[in-house]
């Protein structure tokens, strides 16, 4: 005997339609979850990549700053080496000042003691050679500039008396090396537990 389905056809059709709707809803839900998971993964990867790039940029910036600092140091060393080279070239043609100091010691006598001896090379504007080159070299060669400079000798010390100081100044004038010898200061002071005359003398060389 054949089975007879007593359920109305409309209800069966609606049941099949609802079943298909449930299946598609489940498929669409699963697909949506996959999209959400994929989006979250991509966002996490993007954040990680951004952090990595930011770290690389920061490292690169630090490296550039360090390289710039090293470059500045190298430039400074090169500038110092250039100054030293120019000075070495220039002083080859300068007088042998050791002879001056040897002759000076011979004219001290027994009543003069020097406490300071300073030889200065001055530019046309009365600045000591080298002071204006702390940041940059002069435009002209140093040797050429030295030809226009003048030399001065500054002496400080103690004499046994005012007369001994005056005689020392006369002996300096008698060397014939200086255009002028000027006693810039003198006063009585205690030196080695005795009274002495403290003095300062400035000598300007001939040709300056």
Q: Where does the pLDDT of residue 163 fall: very low under 50, low under 70, confident under 90, or very high at 90 and above?
A: very high
pLDDT at residue 157 is higher than 80: yes
- Mean pLDDT, the chain, rounded, equals 77
101 or 147, greater pLDDT:
101
Cβ pair 10, 18 in contact under 8 A: no
How many other C-beta atoms are found inside a 10 Å radius of the C-beta of residue 59?
Answer: 10
Q: What is the pLDDT of residues 81-118, one digit of tens each?
A: 776 676 666 555 566 677 777 878 888 888 899 999 88
**Domains of the chain by residue range:** 97-205
Residue whose token pair is 């959400």: 36
* 129 token code pair: 């050679």
How many other C-beta atoms are found inside a 10 Å radius of the C-beta of residue 114?
Answer: 15
What's the rounded Cα separation, in Å, for the pair 114 and 110?
11
Give the CATH number of domain 97-205; options: 3.30.310, 2.60.40, 3.30.1330, 3.30.70.
Answer: 3.30.70
How many other C-beta atoms are found inside a 10 Å radius of the C-beta of residue 177?
Answer: 16
3-class DSSP state of 16:
helix
pTM summary value: 0.49
């Amino acid at each position: 005997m054949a089975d007879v389905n007593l359920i109305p056809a409309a209800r069966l059709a609606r049941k099949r339609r609802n079943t298909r709707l449930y299946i598609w809803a489940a498929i669409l839900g699963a697909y949506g979850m996959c999209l959400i998971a994929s989006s979250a993964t991509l966002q996490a990867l993007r954040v990680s990549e951004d952090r990595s790039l930011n770290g690389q940029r920061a490292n690169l910036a630090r490296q550039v700053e360090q390289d710039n600092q090293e470059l500045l140091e190298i430039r400074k060393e090169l500038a110092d080496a250039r100054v030293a080279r120019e000075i070495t070239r220039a002083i080859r043609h300068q007088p042998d000042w050791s002879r001056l100091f040897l002759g000076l010691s011979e004219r001290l006598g027994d009543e003069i003691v020097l406490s300071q001896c300073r030889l200065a090379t001055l530019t046309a504007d009365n600045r000591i050679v080298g002071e204006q080159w702390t940041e940059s070299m002069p435009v002209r060669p140093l040797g050429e500039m030295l030809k226009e400079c003048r030399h001065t000798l500054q002496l400080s010390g103690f004499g046994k008396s005012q007369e001994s100081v005056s005689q020392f100044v006369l002996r300096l004038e008698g060397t014939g090396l200086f255009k002028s010898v000027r006693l810039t200061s003198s006063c009585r002071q205690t030196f080695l537990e005795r009274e002495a005359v403290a003095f300062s003398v400035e000598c300007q060389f001939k040709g300056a």
